[in-house]
Amino acid sequence: MPDFLDVLKQRRSIRKYRKEPVSLDVAKRIVETAIYAPSAHNAQPWRFVVLTDQAQKEALARVMAQVWLAELNRDRIPKKVVQNAIDNSIKRFTTAPLLVLCCLTMEDMDTYLDEERQRNERDLAVQSLAASIQNLLLAAHAEGLGACWYCAPAFCKTAVKQTLKIPDNVEPQALITLGYPVETMASTERHPLGKVVFLNWWGNPL
| Rounded mean pLDDT for each run of 10 residues along the chain, 206 residues in total | 76 93 97 97 98 97 94 88 92 97 97 96 98 97 95 96 97 98 78 92 92
So what's the pLDDT on residue 34? 97
So what's the pLDDT on residue 3? 79
Which helix (H) or strand (E) covers residue 178, if one does? strand 170-179
Please provide residue 46's backbone torsions phi and psi, each rounded to the nearest 5 degrees: -105, 145
Q: Which residues pair with 205 in a beta bridge?
A: 198
CATH class of the region 4-196: alpha beta
Which helix (H) or strand (E) covers residue 173, if one does? strand 170-179
Please provide residue 45's backbone torsions phi and psi, each rounded to the nearest 5 degrees: -80, 30
So what's the pLDDT on residue 1? 53
The pTM score is: 0.92
Q: Which amino acid type is present at position 183?
A: E
Q: Which amino acid type is present at position 95?
A: T
> 89 with 175: CB under 8 angstroms?
no
So what's the pLDDT on residue 17? 96
Please provide residue 135's backbone torsions phi and psi, each rounded to the nearest 5 degrees: -55, -45
